[in-house]
Amino acid sequence: MDLILKALSFVLGSALDVAPIVFFLFLFQLFVMRERIANVKQVLVGFVFVTVGLGLFLVGLEQTLFPLGRLMAQQLTNPDFLYEISGHIGDTLVWQDFYWVYLFAAAVGFSTTLAEPALMAVAIKANSVSGGAIGVWGLRVAVAIGVGVGVSLGCYRIITGMPLQHFIAAGYLVVIVQTMLAPKMIVPLAYDSGGVTTSTVTVPLITALGLGLAEAVPGRSPLLDGFGLVAFASLFPIISVLAYGQLAALRQQRAKSSTEQAELAEETDHAL
């Protein structure tokens, strides 16, 4: 019963959040565009689905992802567990001893990104607009790889205590170089991909992981070191998607070169 009441509360809250969007869209359509709204019933039913879906999704976050994120951080960053897997009982832990943390962080970043609704929507739209040139799964996997690498590297930064700005500055230097070399079609999509990854599924888990890790590692401050994983999760998908575009362009160039060589060889055979 409590869960049902909580779900109804979240659905009502979602309705209040969606109401201004509906109001301004209808107002703009009727008084600025001066056109009637086509398929009014279908649009209203769609907004009801959105409202209920958002409410149930928020319930799921509160009941599963948030507690799971806290539990994951507590267990993974438990000093006893870290000493056990490193084998350095009583010794000072070094960054190499946290390899399970890096692997787990990469796996969490990769898997949660694949489940991001915002990324799914962007990938479907990109596939539609590009006429199938950009694959839905290809883009999702490219973004997920970037997030996985970024979260793992962010955990390394927390453990070592290195300054956040050094990693972010170096990452954006790589992005600038890639932007000049990558196909122009993929550049705007790559920059947008960095934003859609930091949404409702990924952020609770990686934030909990970063804070728990900063609390477990001696000499680290949760406030100064615990935050920053979201920045890594936003930056590295840009790099991975730009690399995805560069590899696709290189593959097309090689295929075109192979076709031209085959045609040239065929023409030479005919001439002989």
> What value does the mean pLDDT take over residues 67-94?
67
Yes or no: say if 212 and 152 are a contact pair by the CB < 8 Å rule: no
Domain residue spans of the chain: 1-62, 77-271
Q: What tens digit of pLDDT does each residue of 162-186 get?
A: 899 999 999 999 999 999 998 888 8
Length of the chain in residues, anyone?
272
**Of 265 and 139, which is predicted with more confidence?**
139
**Of 267 and 105, which is predicted with more confidence?**
105
Which of 12-16, 202-206, 265-269 has the weakest average pLDDT? 265-269
The Cα-based distances of 260 to 105, 243, 252 in angstroms read: 45, 26, 12
Mean pLDDT of the chain: 82
Residue 193 has pLDDT above 80, yes or no: yes
| Cβ contacts of 45-54, under 8 Å, gap ≥ 24 | 47/18, 47/22, 50/18, 51/11, 51/14, 51/15, 51/18, 52/11, 52/14, 54/10, 54/11, 54/14, 54/17, 54/18
Q: What tens digit of pLDDT does each residue of 9-19 get?
A: 888 888 888 88
Q: Rounded CA gap, 18 and 20, in Å? A: 6
Q: What tens digit of pLDDT does each residue of 119-163 get?
A: 888 889 888 888 887 888 989 999 999 999 999 999 999 888 889
Q: How far apart are the first and last CA of the chain?
A: 86
- Amino acid residing at 110: F
Which of 36-45, 57-66, 125-134 has the weakest average pLDDT? 57-66
pLDDT at 94: 63
Residue 206's nearest CA partner among 151, 163, 168, 145 is: 151
* pTM attached to this predicted model: 0.76
Instruction: Give the H/E segment covering residue 200.
Output: none
3-state SS, residue 52: helix
Residues 6+ apart with CB under 8 A from 18: 47, 50, 51, 54
Residue 144's nearest CA partner among 136, 156, 155 is: 136
